[in-house]
Chains A and B, each alone.
Chain A
Amino acid sequence: MTGWHLDPEAIRRYAEGAAPPDLAASAEAHLMKCATCREAIASQVDTRRVEAIWHEVADRVDAPRPSLPERMLTRLGVGEATARLVAATPTLRGPWLLGIAAVLALSAGAAQADERLLRMFLVAAPLGPLAGVAVAFAGGLDPTREIGLATPYPGLRLLLIRTTAVLAVTVPIVAAAGLMLPGSHWVAAAWLLPTAGLTCAALALTARMTPVVAVGVVATAWVLVTTATALAGDLDLTSGIGAQLFWLAVTAGGGLWLVATRDTVTIKLGRSA
């Protein structure tokens, strides 16, 4: 047996959780060896607090450690529940991302040879992130879609979480491809506002149609309007100052609409309900 014991004041402070870390550590070391002090402390500790601590410890031990991407997201300040939802986004799987990266790298390479392809980059660039948003909601690619549809999770919130995650991953890929282009770097950035505007427009349309259809509508309209002029060498509709301001306005308007309606609007995540 040890010759000394914790003094009553130390026991009280430890029991209340008010002991400074060094005192707590030495008290714990002593408590491991000394039954007398353990008893003394047991009579003082608030049982509710003990249960809460025990519960937390048991949960930490029992709940498996989240996967690496989820841990990285939580470190960036994303909530653990949101991180799990992001990890389940179909777009964010390796093969799909490698796919877009490869296509863009190829087209950037081809643009070195043919100037028309350079112009087409501005038309094509927003399609990568848009396709990512569509993939995030394509029924065939989300294996748990059917289970998810039957849950009360707000469709708009899921839509925003997944869209943000998709943009966070696809935009840097497209930007990297843009930097590989010959000529001005402005061209390599001019697609950003159209992409943001097109995405907002697609999100707004999901009040009427499923995300996949909404993206299809928006992407088709964009390609139809811009391809002919871009091929002819006129980039006003894509990177002109007027076009940039227009897309800035669409983005701001779409963003405001989403904020204003987020509690009332019903998003069509599924075909019929």
Chain B
Amino acid sequence: MTTVRVRNATKSFGRTTALDDVDLDAGRGVTGLLGPNGAGKTTLLRIMATVLAPDRGTVTLLGRDPQRPDDRTRIRERLGYLPQDAGFHRGFTVFEFIDYVAILKQMTDRRARHDEVRRVIELTGLSPVSGKRIRALSGGMRRRVGLAQALLGDPDLLVLDEPTVGLDPEQRLRFREMISHAGEGRTVVLSSHQTEDIAALCTRIAVFHRGRVRFTGTPGELTAQAAGRVWAGTQRSAAALAAWRTGDGVYRNVGDPPAGAELIPPTLEDAYLLLMGENELEVTHS
């Protein structure tokens, strides 16, 4: 079943076209949006979170139309949303803040609501700081508070904008576990600049570039696009779209290999860089 269905969505801000005729489907499991800064990921996620409406195109969320007030309320009852730059009432404690969002989520019975708040606090490992004021938390801890509020009420659709940004490697691993767990039986749509996170978490990915979808498929399919196009060398190759020196002093080149190059297996990141490099060329040549 598709939980999220976007067709021909276009959204402009003044003269910037943030989304240009975008189609996207997402169902159970974790769908990842990849793309450079300004590609339109946040704009699309905000549309999926019912916060923004596209200028043109249709959106169906959980089988309903977010443009209709009644439907929108029904969607919001089953939605969890972590914005990219989630702000907090910094004077509230962690418990108070999550409880505040639970009130906005219409959990009216105080005791049941408090139980639910405690559940998500536990789930995100925030119990030791639950009585601390948000202003006293580190950035990574705040990110966890953001995730905790999104998990309130066990939503059917979770929209997470860069959930792992600013987390240390251990926390990122924990977040991955929590998110992949959430993706069992639910629809999770997230964005990330971390190709490893995407490779580890997502069942499907969509790659964005300048407001357009340039690829949709599985991480394996994207990686396969770079097969035969990544090679190692002792120097930066002029033929490469992207090249960088790795820790062991060898240059990793991505693009069309020169004759006799030593090919190496691609990663998701190679394939992503290749796709972006090709799209950039296409844009500058047209």
Contacts and interface: CB of A to CB of B under 8 A. Distances in A.
Interface in A65-104: 66-67, 80-81, 84-85, 87-88
Given A64-B131, A144-B87, 11 more contacts: A59-B114, A67-B91, A84-B96, A85-B104, A142-B87, A146-B85, A146-B86, A147-B101, A147-B149, A151-B76, A151-B105
Chain A, interface SS category: loop
A143 interface: yes
A270 B103 CA distance: 19
Query: Which 3 pairs show the lowest CB-CB distances between chains A and B?
Result: A143-B87, A151-B104, A152-B76
Interface of B: 46, 49-53, 66, 69, 72-74, 76-77, 79, 81, 83, 85-93, 95-96, 99-101, 103-106, 108, 110-111, 114-115, 118, 130-131, 149, 159
Contact of B106 (A66, A147, A152): A152
6 contacts: A64-B130, A66-B96, A146-B46, A150-B79, A152-B77, A153-B103
A153 B93 contact: no
A160 interface: no
Contact of A272 (B53, B95, B110): B53
Given A150-B49, A273-B66, A84 B99 contact: yes
B69 to A, nearest CB: 4
A62 interface: yes
Contacts of B89: 87-88, 143-144
A64 B93 contact: yes
B51 to A, nearest CB: 5
Nearest to A70: B96
Contacts of B96: 64, 66-67, 84
Given A81-B103, A146-B87, A153-B106, A273 B52 contact: yes
A29 interface: no
A266 interface: yes
A63 B95 contact: yes
Contacts of A150: 49-51, 76, 79, 81, 159
Chain B CB within 10 Å — which of A80, A87, A151 has the most? A151
Contacts of B93: 64
Contacts of A81: 103, 108, 110
Chain B CB within 10 Å — which of A150, A271, A273 has the most? A150
Contacts of B159: 150
B51 A146 contact: yes
A46 interface: no
